[in-house]
Amino acid sequence: MAREVGSSSMPHLTAFPEALGTGIIINTAKPVGSGLRARMGHLIEAYESTLSRFRDDSIPAAMAESDRGGSFDFPEYCQGLFDLYDCLYLATGGALDPAVGADLVRLGYGRDMTFRMSADAVDHLGRIRGRATWGDDVERVGTTLRTTGSVQLDFGALGKGYLVDLLAGILEHAQGTYRVGDYLIDAGGDMRIHAPKAVSIAMEDPDDLTKAVGLVSMVSGSLCASAPSRRRWTAPRKDGAAGGLMVLHHIVNAIDGWPVRRVEATWVVVGRDGNDGEQGAGASICNQGQCSPERSGRDWTPDRVPRKGQNPGKGKDGRLADLYPTALADGLSTALFLVDANDLAEHFSFACATIDDNRRAVVSRGFPGTIFTG
């Protein structure tokens, strides 16, 4: 939902128009050589063919079609992605769950893109009606997932942001003539920025995508936005109420399986450094102009994968937020639709802004922007 306004100090453009369904645009201070571009292109193709539930050749597709389950080996680069899902699954009490893919299919957002809700959806949506869950029905050993039945995974809550971080790693580790200097990666509103001066980013109005509701200014860090504006469809109401149709979208509470209603849009910033202003620990959240007390937020990087109520601890390899700031921001921008920001702030360090269904804007301490509505 965020749109770049300017990056004149990074004039060289590299685009992957078909990537992830939204396209990926990379601005760099120096040109991206053909070899480096090819390496990123190969990563994008491998990533999508591995993780996208919309592709017949992906691992999630095989898991969904395996009625007896099985053991499914993912690439080693998925370790951080699965760690983050573990953390966010626990932090949201299971409301953010990659096993929500089955709910999305029943709601009409499946591989066939029918956008027609299945006749039995009401009886099967969500964990409360017996849908498989990440915490109880998927056993993880490193990057191997084991199941005893069909599980339909959807990695959309973190997937774009995680790929952005992997691409940033390629750029940052390029050596010699391949070095590109400063960069800005934009994957349909999921951004990672390392710029010599502030970049201005417009915040799209969830009710009118041609307008902005605010402006963010950042030198470094990750910014991700979420809103159901671009993926909405309708289905007949099941309760016989007047009006006949209900609006559905892709941001679903995995507990009951229904699209969330009370939030219109979210923006999350993770990983801003000291040269770009202070983000603050734990993102003290403002509510109707009053800020709650500071909370001692921390990032989770488990030594062992936390499952089924275990408490995650600090890992040996540094914080997940340091390694994958865009993925974390991506996941938190979805989590803010599901749980209160102050609850998330007890576990993660971030800054955020939200707009609810009454057009009320809430902005956290340390958020590097201004909202014009609310």
pLDDT per position as a tens digit, 134-144: 999 999 999 99
pLDDT per position as a tens digit, 153-180: 999 999 999 999 999 999 999 988 889 9
Which pTM value belongs to this model?
0.86
Which residue would you say has higher pLDDT here, 233 or 369? 369
For residues 189-216, average pLDDT: 91
| Whether CATH 3.10.520.10 fits 2-371 | yes
- Candidate from 120-129, 223-232, 276-285, 297-306 with smallest mean pLDDT: 297-306
Q: What is the pLDDT of residue 312?
A: 37
- Could you tell me the residue ranges of all domains in the chain? 2-371
Banded pLDDT at 243 (limits 50, 70, 90): low
pLDDT per position as a tens digit, 321-332: 999 999 999 999
Query: Is the pLDDT score of 114 beyond 90?
Result: no
Task: Report phi then psi at 49, rounded to 5.
Answer: -70, -20
Token pair for 127? 């964990």
For residues 319-347, average pLDDT: 95
Query: Is the pLDDT score of 301 beyond 90?
Result: no
Query: Is the pLDDT score of 56 beyond 60?
Result: yes
What is the edge-to-edge ordering of all strands in the sheet holding 139-141? 70-73, 144-147, 139-141
